[in-house]
Amino acid sequence: MEDATLIFVVVVALGFDFVNGFHDAANSIATVVSTRVLTPRQAVAWAASFNFIAFLVFGTHVATTIAKDVVEQGVLSIGVIFAGLVGAIVWDLITFWFGLPTSSSHALVGGMAGAAVAKGGFDVLVSEGLRKIGLFIILSPLIGLAVGLILTVVISWAFFRVRRLDRLNKGFRRGQLVSAAAFSLGHGANDAQKTMGIILALLIAGGHVADNGEVPLWVVLAAHTAIGLGTLAGGWRIVKTMGSKITRLQPAGGVAAETAAAATLFFTSAAGVPVSTTHTITGAIVGVGAARRLSAVRWGVAGRVVWAWVLTIPGAFLISALTYYAVEAFA
């Protein structure tokens, strides 16, 4: 019975990874679709491919952080992890319905924290790990914004003599294929690892993996497959917000935004920091728009996105805590 429950929660975790893929598909494809470099179907296939192969490039440092640095190992149980996943999935679906590009990563962190606190109180939280995650909630969009702005200025200065904008855009359209692939690689490296971390925590809690064990290969392959399939499903409501509502992008801006976000994700994935790909690419898009002029950014839309970010961790925390109480009441 216990093994059947474990398998069920592993399936739920992979379901979260799938939801993460279609919720965050906009992160990988919004710029390349809005600049008409690829059709939506071509873009999701392109992004899904690089989401999947990310495990060949990066390690599993982020997975270890999620499994061991959010809550104390002793409080983890199948019920806690199930409730944490439910909170993250429900929050993702709510924000997807309203077309808000929130962070699946921080929904997962908030969900795990909420379920764990419901079981063992606030002492079970790992303060050092949460401080690191909290720091990069602020830093990742700011880094993306700064690098996106700088790259846009550099591109503007490098090509200011070019009068044939159609020829310039043609070159950057090709460049966007590379930058979109790089961002999708970073997205797969950071986001799929969060589900790996959850499944690793499950296996440790069930005694199937040692406390200091590594992520099994089947977990790596399953997580990347789930996020790749989710990306193929596409999150069209959020694509519209990311691709055109925040600011209008041209191919050169798309290259700058995707390159800035990809560089940030490569750095944080190598350092084992679970950051929000949504925050990162949104910051980069705002940076690209602000480099042209401040009025190029629709600050009202950006403000709604920021409010959704602020509410993500407490929202998922509350849903997961209530789910844990419900599970305990009916267990």
Taking alpha carbons only, the member of 189, 240, 196 closest to residue 217 is 196
Cα within 13 Å of Cα(32), Cβ side: 29
Query: Per-residue pLDDT for the chain (331 aa), expressed as one digit of tens each?
Result: 567 888 899 999 998 888 877 766 666 666 677 667 777 777 777 877 887 787 776 667 777 778 778 888 888 888 999 999 999 889 888 887 776 667 777 888 899 999 999 999 999 999 888 888 888 877 888 898 899 889 988 887 887 776 655 666 777 877 888 888 888 888 777 877 888 888 988 888 878 888 777 888 899 889 888 887 887 776 555 455 444 444 566 778 778 888 998 999 888 888 888 887 777 887 888 888 777 665 545 555 556 666 667 788 899 999 999 999 998 887 6
- Chain mean position to CA 66: 13
Distance CA 264, CA 271 (A): 11
The C-alpha angle 313, 140, 63, rounded to 5 degrees, equals 65
Distance CA 199, CA 71 (A): 14
Taking alpha carbons only, the member of 281, 221, 199, 283 closest to residue 29 is 281
- DSSP designation for 297: S
Rounded to two decimals, the pTM is 0.76
Taking alpha carbons only, the member of 159, 161, 149, 184 closest to residue 256 is 149
Q: DSSP string covering 200-239, please?
A: HHHHHHTTSS-TTPPPPHHHHHHHHHHHHHHHHH--HHHH
Amino acid at 20: N
